Each structure stands twice: as C-alpha cells, then as structure tokens.
C-alpha cells in the first residue's frame, strides 16, 4: 500500500480544510457527551487528547489563564503522547468547568 503524504500548501490552495474536532464541540452538552464517550473507552492518552480538543474549543488562551498555566505549558501538557501530572489535568478540568464524578462500577 502506498502512503500519500499531504502537502498543507497544496490542500490550502484546493480549499481543503484540516479536520478539527474542536470545531464540532459547540456547547456543554456536546462536550459532556464527547468526554463521556472517551472516558468509557478507558484510554488515558485519548482522554488527554479529548481534554485538549475541549480546551481548544473553549479557547486555549482563556483556559491557560483560568488554570494558572502558561499557554505553551498547556499545549505541551495536552499534546499527543504527553503524560501530564494529575494536578495539571485537574486544573484544566476546573478551568473548563467540567466536573469529575465517582460512581460504583457495574462491570
């Protein structure tokens, strides 16, 4: 199978936009449903990536300010493959005004 590499300049010239999930997180219900689905998958990397999508949808600069993190630090903490400290994740979740709840497992 031949892998086709994309050329960002060529795609832009053709009017092709890169898919950005943050564009589809329009309201609190969308965000809650998205995070619930990601949490159900039990994949930490995907959860961090999802929090990053939500932060981008809400505005990274504002989330950085509200969490007390630098904007560059926030991007780094939510980058693919990052392993942020739990307290960083909690700061971001609070800044996003997203609550985590505990419930008994039915597994």
For residue 5, what pLDDT band results from cuts at 50, 70 and 90?
low
Instruction: For the chain, list the domains and their CATH numbers.
Output: 44-100 (1.10.260)
Q: What is the pLDDT of residues 62-107, one digit of tens each?
A: 999 999 999 999 999 999 899 999 999 999 999 999 988 888 987 6
One DSSP character per residue, 5-28 reads PP-HHHHHHTTPPPP-GGGG--SH
Given a cut of 90, whether residue 13 has pLDDT beyond it is no
Contact by Cβ (8 Å): 25, 34 = yes
Q: What is the pLDDT of residues 42-59, one digit of tens each?
A: 899 999 999 999 999 999
First and final C-alpha spacing in the chain: 40
pTM as predicted: 0.78
Q: How far apart are CA 69 and CA 79, in angstroms?
A: 15
**pLDDT at site 4:** 55
**pLDDT at site 42:** 87
For residue 24, what pLDDT band results from cuts at 50, 70 and 90?
confident
State mean pLDDT over 27-55: 92
Contact by Cβ (8 Å): 22, 51 = no
Q: Which long-range contacts (CB under 8 A, 24 or more apart) does 60-64 make?
A: 62/95, 63/92, 63/95, 63/96
């Amino acid at each position: 199978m031949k892998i086709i590499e994309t050329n960002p300049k060529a795609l832009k010239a053709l009017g092709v936009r890169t898919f950005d999930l943050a564009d589809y997180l329009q309201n609190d219900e969308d965000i809650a449903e998205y995070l619930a689905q990601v949490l159900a998958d039990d994949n930490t990397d995907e959860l961090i990536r999802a929090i990053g999508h939500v932060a981008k949808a809400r505005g990274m600069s504002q989330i950085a300010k509200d969490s007390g993190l630098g904007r560059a630090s926030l991007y780094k903490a939510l980058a693919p493959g990052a392993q942020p400290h739990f307290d960083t994740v909690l700061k971001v979740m609070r800044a996003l005004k997203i609550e985590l709840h505990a419930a008994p497992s039915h597994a």
